[in-house]
Amino acid sequence: MKIVVATQWFPGKTPILPVKNELGMVAGTQLDHSLNRFGFSSVSAQKAIENKSWYTDKHGYDLYIEDKILDKDRPRCWSKIKILLKLLDQDYDYVFWSDIDTLILNGDTKIEDRIIGSSNVDILFGSEWTPDSDYDPNEWADRIREGDKELNCGNILIKNTAWSKKFFEDVYAQKQFIKEEWPWGTEQRAVMHLVAGKRPCVPRRVHSHMKKHVKFLDQNLMNSYCDYGNPQFNETYHIYEEGDWIMHLAGVPNRDHFFDVWFQKWKQSLK
């Protein structure tokens, strides 16, 4: 089985994006914070690349790192979709996307371990547990046990099929999500829109016509979050526990600091 692990990092200054009006004319500009928000620097990116290189070398996977913006008219996070389509045009059996702000902390877990039992599915998404804005904490505990999950595009395992290619082509065509600022103007919102059945809402469950193609993995299997000292955050999401495969520092403030803490722990574990 031929597998590639892919990520992206764009060094340098935060670029300025054109803001277009309803007629498609440039009406202003805005900073693109779609990737290096929350203080994630090139130093942290190099640590992440070291970690991913170690993992891919260990298991014989290819590693693909994109350092160019592939569509300068969109926030940089949209380049992820272009990268995936590029790799799906190659002879890989699976493409595993892992955001640059992730660390693989259990190197014994192989990508094939996540494929087992889901080989008939085209796309496996990492997930997160997210309550509604007016949720009751006591009720939410029951909802989590019922398997109520929201997808997250930080870690995605994609089987190289015609359906997968068409799905990400359709994602890229959701131009209504380009004009809005993060977090609403991201590729993740476009993915959510399609998985939910082209409805403008966050999907709690996969839409019926998507069920045979798309699966959400429990958060601990592919998208554990980092404890940064926020009790409400820790109660809402699955926080990394020893033995989990991947930690994703999604939404973590002072991200360079926490990324370095866990990077050093990972380095220490190799000794």
Give the pLDDT confidence score for residue 225 in this predicted structure: 96
User: Burial, 95: exposed, middle or buried (Cβ in 10 Å; 0-12, 13-18, 19+)?
Assistant: buried
Residue 59's Cβ-count burial label (10 Å; 0-12, 13-18, 19+) is middle
Higher per-residue pLDDT: 32 or 239: 239
pLDDT, tens only, 60-112: 999 999 988 888 888 878 999 999 999 999 999 999 999 999 999 999 999 99
Please tell me the total number of residues recorded for the chain in this structure. Answer: 271
SS3 labels along the chain: CCEEEEEECCCCCCCEEEEECCCCCEEEEEECCCCCCCCCCHHHHHHHHHHHHHHHHHHCCEEEEECCCCCCCCCHHHHHHHHHHHHHCCCCCEEEEECCCEEECCCCCCHHHHHCCCCCCCEEEEEECCCCCCCCHHHHHHHHHCCCCEEEEEEEEEECCHHHHHHHHHHHCCHHHCCCCCCCCCHHHHHHHHHCCCCCCCCCCCCHHHCCCEEECCHHHHCEECCCCCHHHHHHCCECCCCCCEEECCCCCCHHHHHHHHHHHHHHHCC
Token pair for 218: 């429990």
Q: How far apart are CA 47 and CA 36, in angstroms?
A: 15
Tens of pLDDT, residue by residue over 131-183, are: 444 444 444 344 433 445 678 899 999 999 999 999 999 999 998 888 655 55
In this prediction the pTM is 0.84
Confidence of residue 200 (pLDDT cuts 50, 70, 90): low
